[in-house]
């Protein structure tokens, strides 16, 4: 039967239950273990399945992602015209797809995941069910089961008893004519046109068999984050970007399409150091998965020294700009951006600007620290082509080919794609040696605070001091300013702080202040 399988997945809704997570990225595209939710669903079906995808809110995102991630899969996209109007809902969206579903088909909610395999040989209507606490039954459609058969569907009403189980958003519609006729009834439930009438007709006019599903509901922010936590020790994600790795490809999403544009343009300037972009459009770009391991995993003193020499030869090519242009770019990127980022942090954590005792050291207020930063010295940058986020997690080394590849480059430097400040790359790399981001992702950090004190600690590698010394020697040998690099490291931590989650955000802010005080006091 697998050769005739048709599956309908609805992605048109706004995903309001996802909260702020659903505002910039379609709910079906939120990543779990490197794949979008919808990819987990698609991968449960045979390769020759036809997927009818209802699109509406941020629908172009869904189309582009599926085009890049599943280029050999058969999709039919249906535009849901009034997905955000009163009276819409899954029932209405499904009706819009009716023309391609005049046959037996599977219906899957785009926030439903499951572990068990489905039986493709079935010839009966069936509905996926799972047990939920009675206190949560009001959130779901509930199926009453007697003698192994569904006898009643109760919409979003509190029920209890062993005869009731929740509909998981996965079912097989064998008698589609019965289903479609009944779905013409547009009675609203909770203000939406549900698919309930179609399912009730299958119970009344045919038969509907419950199938127990090993179900994971990822339909709201709390449940989604809980599922993500099974694969990540620490939530290192950012709400304005997502990363997917599947089917031999890496796909990046950015809420700001200017980031995509900038990254693609920058990759074309130096094709030797970045992976070649295969596809890009609007908020997405993709490239072939690159071989190798990060420098965090395979680095040693020899490889690190070779990498520094490789950077000098292959990445840091001088770019001729006037001193005034460079000074303006550096002040905008270092001073103005720092103030903007700290404003975000203080909005997140009010009343944290003042002096505090960090790891036993009394550190002045943030404003006092910034007033002592030598901005004129920092603005005297070295115009060069740069990476812009040059830390070990973004550096691949393939031992077999003895090749370095740079990932996740910054799209611009104060609006400039062709050049940035070489010092920024040095500081990013130096800061990534002090603070190993792969260890942070393993949650190997500790942050605590009381009224008078802040305490922070984090794991480091045995060779940390050796790497820092190698880098210091490199900086001095190339006649760069090591103190300037260290000041920028502190500013980088401060800039990063509002972009991450607790406790890493607070640790970054406090660590940045502590290091900045050591450099400017």
Helix or strand holding residue 38 (H, E)? helix 37-42
Is 484 contained in some domain? Answer: yes
Among 228, 255, 273, the domain-final residue is 228
Is 262 contained in some domain? Answer: no
Residue 89 to residue 69: CA distance in whole angstroms: 27
Spatial contact of 425 and 390, defined as CB atoms under 8 Å apart: yes
Q: Which pLDDT does position 186 carry in this prediction?
A: 66
Name every residue whose Cβ is closer than 8 Å to that of residue 361 and which is 6 or more positions away in sequence.
Answer: 514, 517
3-state class (DSSP) for residue 92: helix
Is 437 contained in some domain? Answer: yes
pLDDT confidence bin for 87, thresholds 50/70/90: low
Average pLDDT over residues 215-228: 91
Bond from prior residue into 503 cis (ω within 30 degrees of 0)? yes
Do 222 and 316 have their domain in common? no
Give the residue carrying structure tokens 């909610």. 109
| CATH code, 336 | 3.90.1200
Is 278 contained in some domain? Answer: no
Do 67 and 201 have their domain in common? yes
385 has a pLDDT exceeding 70? yes
307 has a pLDDT exceeding 80? yes
Residue 319 to residue 470: CA distance in whole angstroms: 26
| CATH code, 68 | 3.90.550.10
43 has a pLDDT exceeding 80? yes
Among 174, 196, 228, the domain-final residue is 228
Do 223 and 318 have their domain in common? no
Residue 355 to residue 360: CA distance in whole angstroms: 13
Which domain covers residue 98, as residue numbers? 2-228
pLDDT confidence bin for 1, thresholds 50/70/90: very low
pLDDT confidence bin for 2, thresholds 50/70/90: very low
The conformation of residue 21, written as its DSSP 8-state character, comes to: G
pTM for the model: 0.91
Residue range 387-430, pLDDT digits in tens? 999 999 999 999 999 999 999 999 999 999 999 999 999 999 99
Sign of CA dihedral 496, 502, 506, 511: negative
Do 197 and 331 have their domain in common? no
Which CA distances in Å does 369 have to 162, 257, 319, 333, 482? 64, 35, 32, 18, 19
Share of the chain above pLDDT 70, in %: 97
- Compute the mean pLDDT over every residue in the chain, rounded to the nearest whole number: 93
Q: Which pLDDT does position 3 carry in this prediction?
A: 54
The b/e string for 349-373 (b: 16+ C-beta within 10 A; e otherwise) is eeebeeebebeeeebbebeebbeeb
Burial status of residue 133 (CB atoms within 10 A of its CB: 0-12, 13-18, 19 or more): exposed
Do 321 and 463 have their domain in common? yes
111 has a pLDDT exceeding 50? yes
236 has a pLDDT exceeding 90? no
3-state class (DSSP) for residue 24: coil
Residue 69 structure tokens: 């991630």
Q: Which pLDDT does position 174 carry in this prediction?
A: 96
Is 202 contained in some domain? Answer: yes
pLDDT confidence bin for 191, thresholds 50/70/90: low
Give the residue carrying structure tokens 């910034």. 370
The b/e string for 313-322 (b: 16+ C-beta within 10 A; e otherwise) is eebbeebebe
Q: Which pLDDT does position 497 carry in this prediction?
A: 97
255 has a pLDDT exceeding 90? yes
The total of structural domains in the chain comes to: 2
Helix or strand holding residue 431 (H, E)? helix 422-434
Is 259 contained in some domain? Answer: no
Strand partners, 165: 143
**3-class secondary structure per residue, 445-461:** EEEEECCCEEEEEECCC
Q: Which pLDDT does position 139 carry in this prediction?
A: 84
Do 55 and 126 have their domain in common? yes
Radius of gyration of the chain (CA): 27
Q: How many CB atoms lie within 10 A of CB 178?
A: 17
Nearest CA to 454 out of 517, 351, 363, 520 is that of 363
Do 223 and 370 have their domain in common? no
Do 39 and 161 have their domain in common? yes
Among 199, 228, 257, the domain-final residue is 228
3-state class (DSSP) for residue 402: coil
Q: How many CB atoms lie within 10 A of CB 430?
A: 23
Q: Furthest-apart CA pair in the chain: how many Å?
A: 84
Q: Which pLDDT does position 7 carry in this prediction?
A: 97
Is 281 contained in some domain? Answer: no
Give the residue carrying structure tokens 């869904």. 62
Do 207 and 324 have their domain in common? no
Contacts made by residues 343-351, CB under 8 angstroms, sequence distance 24+: 344/498, 345/494, 345/497, 345/498, 345/505, 345/509, 348/498, 348/505, 349/506, 349/509
DSSP secondary structure of 156-201: S----STTEEEEEEEEEES-HHHHHHHHT---EETTEE-SHHHHHH
Do 109 and 204 have their domain in common? yes
Do 17 and 147 have their domain in common? yes
Give the residue carrying structure tokens 């694969």. 231
Do 216 and 311 have their domain in common? no
Spatial contact of 40 and 83, defined as CB atoms under 8 Å apart: no
Is 211 contained in some domain? Answer: yes
Residue 508 to residue 290: CA distance in whole angstroms: 30
Residue range 202-212, pLDDT digits in tens? 999 999 999 99
């Amino acid at each position: 039967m697998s050769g005739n399988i048709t599956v309908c997945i609805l992605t048109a809704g706004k995903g309001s239950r996802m909260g702020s997570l659903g505002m910039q990225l379609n709910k079906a595209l939120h990543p779990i273990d490197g794949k979008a939710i919808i990819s987990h669903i698609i991968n449960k079906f045979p390769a020759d399945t036809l997927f009818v995808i209802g699109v509406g809110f941020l629908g172009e995102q869904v189309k582009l992602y599926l085009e890049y991630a599943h280029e050999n899969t058969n999709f039919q996209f249906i535009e849901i015209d009034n997905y955000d109007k009163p009276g819409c809902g899954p029932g209405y969206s499904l009706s819009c797809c009716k023309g391609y579903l005049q046959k037996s088909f599977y219906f899957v909610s785009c926030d439903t995941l499951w572990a068990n395999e489905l039986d493709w040989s079935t010839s009966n209507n069936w509905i996926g069910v799972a047990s939920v606490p009675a206190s949560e039954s009001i959130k779901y459609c509930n199926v009453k089961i007697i003698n192994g058969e569904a006898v009643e569907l109760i919409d979003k009403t509190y029920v209890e008893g062993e005869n009731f189980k929740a509909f998981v958003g996965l079912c097989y519609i064998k008698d589609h004519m019965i289903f479609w006729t009944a779905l013409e009834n547009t009675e609203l439930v909770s203000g939406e046109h549900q698919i309930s009438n179609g399912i009730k007709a299958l119970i009344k006019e045919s038969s509907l068999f419950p199938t127990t599903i090993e179900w994971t509901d990822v339909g709201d922010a709390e449940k989604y984050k809980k599922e993500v936590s099974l694969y990540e020790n620490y939530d290192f994600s950012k709400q304005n970007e997502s990363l997917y790795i599947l089917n031999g490809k890496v796909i990046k999403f950015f809420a700001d399409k200017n980031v995509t544009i900038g990254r693609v343009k920058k990759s074309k300037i130096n094709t030797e150091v970045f992976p070649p972009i295969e596809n890009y459009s609007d908020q997405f770009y993709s490239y072939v998965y690159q071989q190798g391991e990060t420098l965090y995993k395979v680095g040693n003193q020899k490889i690190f020294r070779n990498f520094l020499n490789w950077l000098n030869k292959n990445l840091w090519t001088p770019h001729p700009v006037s001193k005034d242009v460079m000074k303006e770019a550096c002040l905008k990127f270092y001073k103005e951006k720092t103030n903007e980022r700290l404003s975000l942090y203080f909005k997140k954590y009010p009343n944290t600007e003042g002096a505090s005792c960090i790891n036993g050291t009394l550190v002045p207020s943030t404003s006092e620290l910034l007033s002592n930063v030598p901005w004129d010295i920092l603005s005297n940058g070295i115009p060069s082509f740069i990476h812009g986020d040059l830390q070990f997690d973004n550096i691949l080394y393939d031992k077999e080919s003895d090749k370095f590849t740079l990932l996740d480059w910054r799209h611009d430097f104060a609006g400039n794609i062709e050049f940035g400040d070489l010092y920024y790359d040095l500081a990013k790399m130096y800061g990534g040696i002090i603070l190993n981001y792969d260890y942070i992702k393993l949650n190997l950090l500790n942050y605590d605070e009381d009224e008078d004190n802040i305490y922070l600690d984090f794991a480091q590698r045995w060779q940390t001091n050796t790497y820092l010394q190698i880098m210091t020697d490199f900086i001095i040998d190339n006649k760069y300013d090591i103190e300037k690099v260290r000041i920028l490291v502190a500013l980088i931590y401060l800039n990063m702080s509002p972009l991450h989650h607790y406790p890493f955000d607070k640790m970054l802010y406090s660590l940045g202040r502590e290091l900045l005080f050591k450099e400017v006091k």
